[in-house]
Structure 1
Amino acid sequence: MSDDTIRLVTIGRIFRRRWRLLAIVAVVGALVGYGASLLFPPRYTTSASVLLPGAWESRELLTQTEIATSSVVLDRAAATLGWTGVSGSELRDRVSAKAADGNIIKISGTADTPERAQRLSDRVAQEFVTFATRIVGDTTDSDAAAELEALRKKVAQTNRGITDLANAADPGQTVESVQARTELEQLRTALQEAMEKLEEAGPATNKANMVVMGPAARPTGEAPPTRMQLMVAGALLFFLLAVIGHLTAARMSRRLRTEPEIAAALRSTLLGTVDVPGGRLAHRPEDGRPRAWIRRLLGVDTRWDIPTPRTSGDEAGRRIRYRRVCARLREQLPAPRRLLVVVPDGDEIARRAAVQLVAEAGSDPSPSSSNGGDPMLRVVGVSVSRPLVPDRDTESGALVVLSAGSRTAGELTGIAEACADARHEVVGIVVAGAVRARPTRSAGRSPHHATPALAVGDDARGGSV
């Protein structure tokens, strides 16, 4: 697993180098969202408001919302609507209720058309008011009713007592008698008014006067999730999954990126590193098959998890690196001999570097030439899945050329074992890296200094100087 920190530059590199693939994945996600919208028909939602006059506590309002969505209310609403195949249990998923400010219960209904949604909300609201009013009337506290009836009897008894007192009072027209009768009549009037107000202010009577605040509004738009929302959600989901997949693959990558790790896997010595001009295009293998064309179209034929190639110096500076590798190779060998330049298949950077190395080995103007300097080199491609190196014939050794971060330790170990099976000693390793070449001047350049444009395959040779 790679321990590199996932940074914003990594995300930006994914967007920049995989934008075609990400765009296609997002389109596929949008199509999946569209398909999901076909499975779920459009729904429309509207609400009807019911006013609960009087003083209500929050828990009482919560109880009323539960009553509004109870099976009794929904069954009555389904029976009244008479929709085919729609029962009260099915309406439970389509009807909801919540308490709003001002003692208002909002009853929302969802249906497949605006008209049915409006009818559903209005009908459930009406059934709720009817059922809740009956509950309030039926559940009036019997003790309170008995006390109220006893109070009426006491008031009637008091009125009779007042009448008896008034009749027993001095029938004369004295001031005291007139004043006594007046006070008794005032007491009778006050008792009657108190009883009337007590009956009018009864909690059951007050709370039973629920009112539906007009018909529900006909919805003009679909209820979420709409088809467009499903398409956008599908595109975003697939896009994020693609990005996360890239990050996970890079995090779990076992490709070797450092020269010591590569040298340890091949059990040989690192001779040096060389530069290959071409930048991002250097990572692209040349293959005319339809599958390769599709990979190029999607932009997945190149590595995205490699850093942006740095700007290289001039060609002379790059050739110096190749000459130094050839010099170290001469130092490794006791005498000039023929060597195989082993390049893993699909590693375009390494292939170009091997061709350039063969050219430098054959054109090195060293004074020690005349078949006594650089070894003769032949480039061979080796499959990493089933590595097979030509048997030892005229060549007696192998030089492995590869790019950093292209192969795992197991793959490199397989190449080393294939060389050993063919009785080739791995005399050295060359690591190639892609760079961005600066504009070059064509004047004053001899033809043999130019880098070969094409690989020469298995027959690429460099003569000794």
Structure 2
Amino acid sequence: MVGQVFRRRWQLLIVFAIAGAIVGAGASSVLSPGYQTSADVLLQGSHQADELTTETTVATSSTVLDRTAKALRWGVTGTELADSVAASVLDGNVIAITARADSPEKAKKLADRMAREYVAFSTELAAQQTDASTSLAKDQQDALRDQIEQTNDMISQLSRRANGDNVESVQVRTQLQEVRSSLTEAMTTLAESESSSIRSNLVVMGSAELPTAKAAPTLTQLVIGGALVGILVGVFAHLISASRRRRVYADSDIASALGANILGTVTVPHEHARNPGEADRPHLVALGRQLLGLDRPWFVEQLPDAGDERDQAVRYRRLVHRLHETAGTPLHILAVVADDDPEALSGVARLAAETGSAGEPTEVITDIPGFANVVEQLDAGPSRPVVRERAETTPAGNRTILRLVEVSAELPTVPEPADEAGVVLVTTAGTRTDWQLDGLTQACVDAGYPVLGAMIVHRSRPAAAPAGPAAPPASVSDDALAGAR
């Protein structure tokens, strides 16, 4: 079915592709980032994952954005720059600051300035943290120094008390001296550690590269992607539409749904089948439907060739013969067609013409606007039937009276019987559902008509015009072309 969509509705798929491309081009103003580049900043030292995440937030903070906007002097605010920059964590404690702009130069300048302002702002934060830590450490160091001096005084007092010459006194003084030395070394180490810097340095790892092409998705990519999406939407729309259709195409299925025998199967050239009501439709609308392939179904097999005139005449002659066998002679029958089935009208017009060609004067009684024009388009010559809006008051005699009515396909209503022998249901294959076909039959039964049978019309391609001079028409009999339906 997908192949049939592409083969038979490729014109409409092109329209879907163009529409998708237009949508993609319009979306490029929102989705296309333009030119993009990035500047890397290295954080020296050891850092946890959450610390690196915090640094990305600092890199795109409002302070950094405002400083960048002020330095660039592009006439934009920091808030407006927020959508054009982003920060992410790379391997090795590296913060990547990505900038987007409508030109390569602007993208490079934005990335470099953001990196410098981020480093400057982060250094200020670290300096403030260092000053606070140094002040606190100095207070703690002074308090510790007082405690050490008090401890030294106590050690001196204990040392003076142990001023004897015995061995125990000497050992006590030695141990006290070792304690004093350990306290002094601890004080020195504490002072050195507190005076050292507690912050890590940030280094910009070179200038951002000048981009040579726009970043994905580019305008071209979005246009191509939109066209592909448009084609997919068109294909899926056709498939969904086909899955929801329940129209009947096979002759046996149509006969089963109608509950009637098939009197004959005929073909009508599709380009010649026109609904009389379409005469008022603007020519451009009809031309547009034809160019897009909407004037023919795609989900059925390709229309067969109409065949030559001899084949068509045989089919209609046999149909007329079966009608005589069923309804008697002369024929006086009612033909019922749906109001949206122009091919069925053309089939009835040809049936009336073939009835007249057998030597039987034929009269079609109908109030369908434009049906007379359909009959006039037939090359029937003297056998062309007479079309009237109402029956004559004179007796029918040997004339064939064909009364033609159109009914609604959804809610059919057949008029009251006159003196017809029965009704013939005329429908085009692939135009009705099972329920609609059954509704046609039930409407005829409700009106009191016996159903003589069904005439099924198939759309076909018009026969090619002969290259040479036209040959004289051959006589046609019911025995000709025994293999034809």
In which range does the TM-score fall when normalised by the shorter chain? 0.5 to 0.7
SS at match of 1:98: strand
CA distance in 2, matches of 1:448, 1:377: 25
Q: Aligned runs of 1:226-237 on 2, under 5 Å?
A: 226-237=218-229
Instruction: Report how many residues are paired.
Output: 402
1:376-395 alignment to 2 at 5 Å?
A: 376=400, 378=402, 380=404, 382=406, 384=408, 395=420
Q: 2-side partners of 1:388 and 1:294: how far apart?
A: 34
Task: Pick which of 339-348 and 127-136 moved more.
Answer: 339-348
From 92, 100, 105, the equivalent of 2:95 is 105
**2: CA distance, partners of 1:335 / 1:126:** 104
CA contact (8 A) 1:276 1:352 kept: no
Cα distance between partner residues in 2 of 1:292 and 1:439? 23
| Residues 431/375 of structure 1: CA separation in 2 closer, same or farther (3 Å cut) | farther
Q: Quick one: which of 38, 46, 52 aligns to 1:47?
A: 38
Give the Cα separation in 1 of the matches to 2:238 and 2:421: 42
Secondary structure of 1:105's partner? strand
Q: Which residue of 2 aligns with 1:70?
A: 61
- TM-score, length basis structure 2: 0.63
Distance 1:281 1:123, change over 3 A: same
Q: Determine whether 1:447 maps to 2:474.
A: yes
The alpha carbon displacement at 1:329 in A equals 3.8
1:338 to 332, 339, 343: 332
User: What is the deviation of 1:300?
Assistant: 0.9
How much has 1:49 moved relative to structure 2?
A: 1.0
Residues in 2 aligned to 1:314 and 1:88: alpha-carbon distance in whole angstroms: 79
- Contact 1:44/1:221, CA 8 A, preserved across alignment: yes
1:212 aligned residue? 204
Distance in 2 of aligned mates of 1:261 and 1:150: 106
In structure 2, distance between residues paired with 1:375 and 1:260: 33
* d(CA) in 2 for partners of 1:297, 1:389: 37
Name the SS for the 2:116 alignment partner: helix
SS of equivalent residue, structure 1 residue 91: helix
Which of residues 295, 298, 302 in structure 1 aligns to 2:292?
Answer: 298
Q: Secondary structure at the match of 1:96?
A: strand
Q: Which amino acid aligns with 2:233?
A: L
Could you tell me which residue of structure 1 aligns to residue 422 of structure 2? 397
Contact 2:305–2:460 at 8 Å: present in 1 too? Answer: yes
- Root mean square deviation of aligned Cα: 5.3
Equivalent runs, 1:60-459 vs 2, <5 Å: 60-84=51-75, 86-139=76-129, 142=133, 145=137, 204-205=198-199, 207=200, 209-257=201-249, 262=254, 268-272=259-263, 274-276=265-267, 289-309=283-303, 325-326=319-320, 328-333=322-327, 336-344=330-338, 347=341, 349-351=343-345, 353-354=347-348, 357-358=351-352, 376=400, 378=402, 380=404, 382=406, 384=408, 395-408=420-433, 412=437, 425-434=450-459, 447-449=474-476
Compared CA separation, residues 438 and 36, structure 1 to 2 (3 A): closer
Contact 2:305–2:462 (8 Å) recurs in 1: yes
Residue 391 of structure 1 deviates from its aligned partner by 7.6
Cα pair distance change 1:273/1:107, threshold 3 Å: farther
Match of 2:3 among 9, 12, 17: 12
Q: What is residue 176 of structure 1 aligned with on the other side?
A: none
The Cα shift of 1:304 comes to 1.0
**TM-score scaled by length of structure 1:** 0.65
- Flag the 1:115–1:416 CA change in 2: closer, same or farther, 3 A: same
Shift of 1:67: 1.7
Distance in 2, matches of 1:253 and 1:283, equals 23
Residue 223 of structure 1 and its aligned partner are, at CA, apart by: 3.9
Partner of 1:3: none
Structure 1 residues 233 and 19: CA distance shift in structure 2, 3 A: same
Greater CA drift, 290-299 or 221-230? 221-230
Which runs of 5 or more residues in structure 1 are unaligned? 1-9, 161-183, 366-373, 451-465
Change (3 A) 1:379 1:346: farther
Call closer, same or farther: CA 1:135–1:392 in 2, change over 3 Å. Answer: same
Partner residue in 2 for 1:177 = none
User: Aligned-pair distance for 1:396?
Assistant: 4.7
For residues 397 and 352 of structure 1, the distance between their equivalents in structure 2, rounded to whole angstroms, comes to 21
Tell me the distance in 2 between the aligned counterparts of 1:333 and 1:201. 120
Q: 1:27 maps to which residue?
A: 18
Q: CA deviation at 1:201?
A: 12
With over 3 angstroms needed to count, the CA separation of the structure-2 counterparts of 1:285 and 1:333, relative to structure 1, is: closer
